[in-house]
Structure 1
Amino acid sequence: MNGHIKLHRALTEWGWYKDLPTCKLWLHILLRANYKACEWQGIEIPRGAFATSYAALSAESGLSVQQVRTALGKLKKTGEITVETNRHYTVITVSKYDEYQSAPDEVPTAAKCPPKSKPKPKTQESDKKLDLTERFSEPVCSAVQDWITYKKERRDAYEPTSLRNLLTMIENRVKQHGEQAVADVIRLSMSQRWRGIIWDRIEDKPKKPKADAPMFNGAPAASDWENEWAARVKASRGER
Structure 2
Amino acid sequence: MNGHIKLHRALTEWGWYKDLPTCKLWLHVLLRANYKACEWKGIEIPRGAFATSYAELAAESGLSVQQVRTALGKLKKTGEITVETNRHYTVITVSKYDEYQSCERDEVTTPAKCPPKSKSKPKTQEADKKLDLTERFSEPVCSAVQDWIRYKKERRDAYEPTGLRNLLTMIENRVKQHGEQAVAEVIRLSMSQGWKGIIWDRIGDKPKKPKADTPMFDGAPAANDWENEWAARVKASRGER
List 4+ stretches of structure 1 deviating above 3 A.
Answer: 105-240
Give the C-alpha shift of residue 36 in structure 1: 0.2
Q: Cα 1:235–1:4, aligned 2, differ >3 Å: closer, same or farther?
A: closer
Q: Cα 1:86–1:111, aligned 2, differ >3 Å: closer, same or farther?
A: farther
Q: Cα 1:185–1:47, aligned 2, differ >3 Å: closer, same or farther?
A: same
Whether the aligned pair in 2 keeps the contact of 1:37 and 1:44 (CA below 8 Å) is yes
Whether the aligned pair in 2 keeps the contact of 1:40 and 1:115 (CA below 8 Å) is no
1:210 lines up with 2:211 in the alignment: yes
* Structure 1 Cα separation of the partners of residues 195 and 51 of structure 2: 47
Whether the aligned pair in 1 keeps the contact of 2:140 and 2:181 (CA below 8 Å) is yes
Q: Deviations over 1:57-98 (max 9, x none)?
A: 000000000000000000000000000000000000000000
* Structure 2 Cα separation of the partners of residues 236 and 7 of structure 1: 55
Whether the aligned pair in 2 keeps the contact of 1:83 and 1:93 (CA below 8 Å) is yes
Q: Cα 1:48–1:201, aligned 2, differ >3 Å: closer, same or farther?
A: same
Tell me the SS of whatever aligns to 1:3: coil
Q: Cα 1:46–1:177, aligned 2, differ >3 Å: closer, same or farther?
A: same
Give the C-alpha shift of residue 44 in structure 1: 0.4
Q: Which moved more, 1:7-16 or 1:151-160?
A: 151-160
Tell me the SS of whatever aligns to 2:51: strand
Give the C-alpha shift of residue 100 in structure 1: 0.3
Give unmatched runs, 5+ long, in structure 2.
Answer: none
Q: Which moved more, 1:25-34 or 1:218-227?
A: 218-227
Whether the aligned pair in 2 keeps the contact of 1:84 and 1:90 (CA below 8 Å) is yes
Whether the aligned pair in 2 keeps the contact of 1:16 and 1:23 (CA below 8 Å) is yes
Q: Cα 1:232–1:185, aligned 2, differ >3 Å: closer, same or farther?
A: closer
Whether the aligned pair in 1 keeps the contact of 2:14 and 2:115 (CA below 8 Å) is no
Whether the aligned pair in 2 keeps the contact of 1:51 and 1:90 (CA below 8 Å) is yes
Give the C-alpha shift of residue 161 in structure 1: 63
Whether the aligned pair in 1 keeps the contact of 2:21 and 2:71 (CA below 8 Å) is yes
Name 1:133's counterpart in structure 2: 134
Tell me the SS of whatever aligns to 1:117: coil
Q: Cα 1:215–1:35, aligned 2, differ >3 Å: closer, same or farther?
A: closer
Same amino acid, percent of matched pairs:
92
Q: Cα 1:43–1:78, aligned 2, differ >3 Å: closer, same or farther?
A: same
Structure 1 vs Structure 2 CA RMSD: 19.4
Whether the aligned pair in 2 keeps the contact of 1:37 and 1:111 (CA below 8 Å) is no
* Structure 2 Cα separation of the partners of residues 148 and 125 of structure 1: 14
Asked which structure has the greater CA Rg, the reply is 1
TM-score relative to the length of structure 1: 0.44
Paired residue total: 239
Q: Which moved more, 1:4-13 or 1:138-147?
A: 138-147
Tell me the SS of whatever aligns to 1:133: helix
Structure with the bigger percentage of helix: 2
* Structure 2 Cα separation of the partners of residues 87 and 5 of structure 1: 30
Whether the aligned pair in 1 keeps the contact of 2:144 and 2:188 (CA below 8 Å) is yes
* Structure 1 Cα separation of the partners of residues 173 and 203 of structure 2: 13
Q: Cα 1:44–1:185, aligned 2, differ >3 Å: closer, same or farther?
A: farther
